């Protein structure tokens, strides 16, 4: 059985049991913490993950040389890609979703789900991979998140996601690079 299938089954059990009222007292977040701590299991064998502690600070010309126009718009200018435009929206393989600007792992494949919104969505993140801040650009408050290593804009987090977290980390696909497991 693939790791993703096994983990999906393990995390579905408490959700199903909770919805029937049987195990409501055992839903403590331990399953999510276990998933968040095992993200390295999904790294490709030849990939060495950078640390969020190794800040990557480049000037605008260095970022423009490193990124294509769409990546620069999202990662450096807080843009948003068009809905349903990212092939990562349909990505189902085991692996890691890393920042397209600096390769910091942000999500593992078991954290991904289909939100129906048109952007890759996740219900949690790799520990210490992102930083959040309040976004007031559209007249209401949203929570924006950025890569903890390079500060690249990734997307927004909402409270309409699935159990067990209830969170939807809505990410621009162009801001990510998918690294399939070996």
- The Cα–Cα gap between 175 and 182 comes to 22
- Give the total residue count for the chain: 182
Structural contact between residues 106 and 147, judged by C-beta atoms closer than 8 angstroms: yes
Write down the catalytic residue from 99, 102, 147, 170.
170
What are the Cα distances from residue 100, in Å, to 80, 95, 134, 148, 182? 14, 15, 23, 13, 19
Q: Is 170 a catalytic residue?
A: yes
Residues with a catalytic annotation lie at 170
């Amino acid at each position: 059985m693939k790791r993703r299938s096994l983990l999906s089954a393990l995390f579905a059990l408490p959700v199903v049991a909770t919805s029937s009222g049987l195990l409501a007292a055992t839903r403590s977040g331990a399953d999510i913490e276990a998933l968040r701590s095992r993200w390295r299991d999904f790294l490709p064998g030849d990939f060495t993950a950078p640390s969020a502690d190794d800040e990557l600070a480049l000037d605008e010309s260095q970022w423009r040389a490193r990124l294509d126009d769409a990546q620069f718009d999202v990662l450096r200018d807080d843009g948003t890609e068009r809905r349903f435009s990212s092939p990562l929206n349909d990505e189902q393989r085991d692996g890691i979703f890393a920042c397209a600007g600096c390769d910091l792992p942000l999500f593992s494949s078991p954290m991904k789900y289909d939100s129906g919104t048109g952007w890759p969505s996740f219900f949690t993140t790799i520990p210490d991979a992102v930083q959040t801040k309040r976004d007031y650009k559209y007249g209401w408050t949203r929570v924006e998140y950025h890569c903890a290593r390079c500060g690249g804009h990734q997307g927004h987090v909402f409270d309409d996601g699935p159990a067990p977290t209830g969170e939807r980390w809505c990410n621009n696909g162009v801001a990510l690079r998918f690294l399939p497991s070996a």
